[in-house]
């Protein structure tokens, strides 16, 4: 073990944009985005291929769905 710690990206701030400046969000290998299917070198926090804009859109949709579910009282 080398003693170097792998840094994690900070969690997104509510209503804010994702911060993907950390090198862990980059891969030299292009893979299809998990949301739109177009090729990308970017990786999300779980190392799945994803464009930043696609990931932000998906998070916004998930938040809207959660609010809707909470307000309607359906689980």
The whole-number pLDDT of residue 14 equals: 54
Coil, strand or helix: which one is 18? coil
- What is the H or E stretch that residue 71 is in? helix 52-72
Predicted confidence pLDDT, tens digits, the chain (75 residues):
566 666 665 555 555 677 888 899 999 999 999 999 999 999 998 899 999 999 999 989 988 888 888 888 766
């Amino acid at each position: 073990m080398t003693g170097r710690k792998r840094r994690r990206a900070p969690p997104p701030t509510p209503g804010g944009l994702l911060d993907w400046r950390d090198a862990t969000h980059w891969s030299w290998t292009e893979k299809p985005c998990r949301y739109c299917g177009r090729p990308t070198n970017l990786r999300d926090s779980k190392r799945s291929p994803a464009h930043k804009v696609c990931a932000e859109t998906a998070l916004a949709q998930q938040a809207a769905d959660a609010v809707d579910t909470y307000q309607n009282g359906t689980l």
